[in-house]
Amino acid sequence: MTLEIFNLWDKEKYDEARILLEDAAMDYPNNSAILDNLGEIYMLLGRYEQAIATEARTIELSPNGYHALYIKGKSHFFLGEFASAAECFREVLRINPEFPFTANIYGICLFELGLYEEALEKFETAMSQLKEDAQMIYNVGLTYMKLGKNEIAAGYFKRIMDGDFPGVYKYHARGCLQEIEGEDKWTDC
Name the domain count of the chain. 2
47, 93, 86: which is closest to 66 by C-alpha?
A: 93
Residue 3 pLDDT: 83
pLDDT in tens, 48-86: 999 999 999 999 999 999 999 999 999 999 999 999 999
| Residue 74 belongs to some domain of the structure | yes
- Do 21 and 88 fall into the same domain? yes
Task: Confirm whether 182 is domain-assigned.
Answer: yes
Give the global pTM: 0.86
d(CA 27, CA 18): 14
Q: Are residues 52 and 94 in the same domain?
A: yes
Share of the chain above pLDDT 70, in %: 96
List the CATH number of the domain containing 75.
Answer: 1.25.40.10
Residue 111: the pLDDT is: 96
Whether residue 105 is contained in a domain is answered as no
The Cα–Cα gap between 174 and 184 comes to 11
Boundary of a domain, candidates 38, 69, 99: 99
Please tell me whether residue 165 adopts helix, strand or coil conformation.
coil
* DSSP conformational letter for 39: H
pLDDT tens for each residue of 174-184: 999 999 988 76
Average pLDDT over all residues of the chain:
92
Q: How confident is the model at residue 107 (pLDDT cuts 50, 70, 90)?
A: very high
Report whether 70 contacts 102 (CB < 8 A).
Answer: yes
Residue 114 lies inside a defined structural domain of this protein: no
Let me know whether 2 and 92 are in one domain.
yes
Domain end marker among 70, 99, 128: 99
pLDDT tens-digit map of 142-176: 999 999 999 999 999 999 999 999 899 999 999 99
68, 59 Cβ separation under 8 angstroms: yes
CA proximity to 24, closest of 2, 8, 7: 2
Looking at residue 184, its pLDDT comes to: 65
Closest CA to 77 of 88, 64, 63, 62: 88
Q: Of the residues 67, 99, 131, which one is the last residue of a structural domain?
A: 99
Residue closest to 189 by CA, chosen among 152, 139, 151, 116: 139
Q: What amino acid is encoded at 160 in this protein?
A: I
Domain that holds residue 80: 1-99
Residues 123 and 165 in one domain: yes
* pLDDT higher at 82 or 188: 82
40 and 71 Cβ atoms separated by less than 8 Å: yes
* Mean pLDDT within 103-121: 95
